[in-house]
Amino acid sequence: AFLIGAVMYSNINDLGTLLTHMTSLNLLENAEAERHARTMAFVTLAVSQLFHSFNLRHEKKSIFAIGLTSNMYLVYSLIGGILIQLIVIYVPFLAAAFKVSPLSLLDWAIVVGLSLSVIVLNEIVKIFKRSAAK
């Protein structure tokens, strides 16, 4: 998420150049681009953990076999966690305190896509666990 945000919001379009800047501790030449990239990484980490909580309900059963709404407290926690992320990002004094930038709809699509990858990868692992158990 950080690398995607860095490429999207900086003038650096080459991954090699981007990595060179990062290793020299001059992460990005543009401070706002760096803040935006950090925000995307921060939100992706938080939201992916919220999504991953659905994976943890059973070691081998699919989250779809269990049902997404079988534990409404978990659903409410997911919604609450995302709302907290929105508040931190879009309330000006909190955004300044956490040094985050507002995300665009495209940014949110990337964040949600990367965060959902945790579910997809875990579902693949569960398929192998179920087939190994037979």
pLDDT tens for each residue of 50-65: 999 998 888 888 888 8
Tokens of 53: 């909580």
What pLDDT does 68 receive? Answer: 85
8 A C-beta contact, residue 101 and residue 115: no
CA angle (110 as vertex; 108, 112 as ends), nearest 5: 65
25 band by pLDDT with thresholds 50, 70 and 90: very low
Q: Which residue has the higher pLDDT, 39 or 26?
A: 39
Secondary structure (3-state) at 99: coil
Tokens of 9: 């919001």
